[in-house]
Amino acid sequence: MWIEVPLTQQGQWPKGVRLPIIISVHHQSEEAAVVFGDGQVDPFDFSERQYGGRRGAWRLLEILGKHNVLGTWIICGATVEKYPDISRAVKKAGHAIAGHTYEHEMMCNYPPDQELRLIRKTVQVFQDQLGENLKGWRTCFASHHTIDLLLEHFDFDWDASIWNDDLPYMIEGYGKKLLEIPFSSYSDAALAIQITNPMPPTPYGTWHSNTPEFILKAMKSQFDALYERGAEKPVLMPLTVHDFIVGRPSRSLVLDEFITYAKQFEGVVFATHDQVRSWWMQNYKQ
């Protein structure tokens, strides 16, 4: 069991930081592809998503590099094994790396012992393949045990699996502390596509995409609102993009344009979860 630790001062960012933006690149490629009732992975969905590992992730890495901004790459263990080159390039470029389960398992459907086994397996893959000691974790489908397991069995600095707040909060349990850095529902997945493919997919079951224009507009709206609010209160903008969604050429322009747009504003800082954590921890000083 864990408890939330209250702030010891009013939450604030370091001087000069008005709006930190955390770009999370979900690098999961085909891991979450739809599986049919007969056990076969949907070849269409698989192929559409596999683009992420083969191409999309590289394109996103290039865009971040072009703008000279760092983000957090949230990567599935199996994806690291299948496409190690991109993970190595990501690490070399200085981005933060976090675990995203092994094969994008919906942890809410797993008993705690299996979830623990899968987290362990993922942690091991990052150590073996990248020499990376995972400090951050995100599962899109957290269970009621996720936080307990992370605290009890591992030494994570932060988790970003929960969607329940605007700002980070510290939790404590099993003699350890963890910063929860919630994410926003305004991910590219929510904006760009109807990700919940019907099961079984109908003959119309395809990716119901919104236009790049629409996605960019929604990202900017979120940014504008937070920037305005940031004049008076601490704000944080988590921005999730997927290798197979925004990694596509037409939508990659959206990320490119969004970064160009946001960069013009004073006090906007593109940060990793690790940076944001170290900043926010200052608010808990005794």
Which residues bind to other proteins, rule: CB under 8 A?
38, 40, 42-44, 47-48, 50-51, 54-55, 194, 202-204, 206-214, 245, 248-254
Looking at the Cβ atoms of 42 and 180, the one nearer to other proteins is 42
Looking at the Cβ atoms of 95 and 248, the one nearer to other proteins is 248
The 3-state DSSP class for residue 279 equals helix
- The Cα–Cα gap between 100 and 80 comes to 11
Phi-psi region of 250 (alpha: psi -120 to 50; beta: other; left: phi over 0): alpha
Residue pair 79/53 in contact (Cβ under 8 Å)? The answer is yes
Residue 199 CA neighbour count, 13 Å, CB half: 11
- The Cα–Cα gap between 217 and 208 comes to 18
Q: Which residue intervals of the chain are DSSP H helices?
A: 43-51, 57-67, 77-82, 84-92, 112-130, 146-153, 188-192, 212-229, 249-263, 273-281
Minimum distance from CB of 199 to other proteins (Å)? 15
Residue pair 85/55 in contact (Cβ under 8 Å)? The answer is no
Minimum distance from CB of 100 to other proteins (Å)? 20
DSSP 259: H
Looking at the Cβ atoms of 22 and 215, the one nearer to other proteins is 215
Minimum distance from CB of 42 to other proteins (Å)? 7
Minimum distance from CB of 207 to other proteins (Å)? 5
Minimum distance from CB of 123 to other proteins (Å)? 28
74's enclosing H/E stretch is strand 72-75
The 3-state DSSP class for residue 169 equals strand
Minimum distance from CB of 212 to other proteins (Å)? 4
Minimum distance from CB of 255 to other proteins (Å)? 11
Looking at the Cβ atoms of 44 and 261, the one nearer to other proteins is 44
Looking at the Cβ atoms of 19 and 192, the one nearer to other proteins is 192
Looking at the Cβ atoms of 63 and 98, the one nearer to other proteins is 63
The 3-state DSSP class for residue 44 equals helix
Tokens of 236: 């944080």
Looking at the Cβ atoms of 129 and 209, the one nearer to other proteins is 209
Residue pair 158/179 in contact (Cβ under 8 Å)? The answer is yes
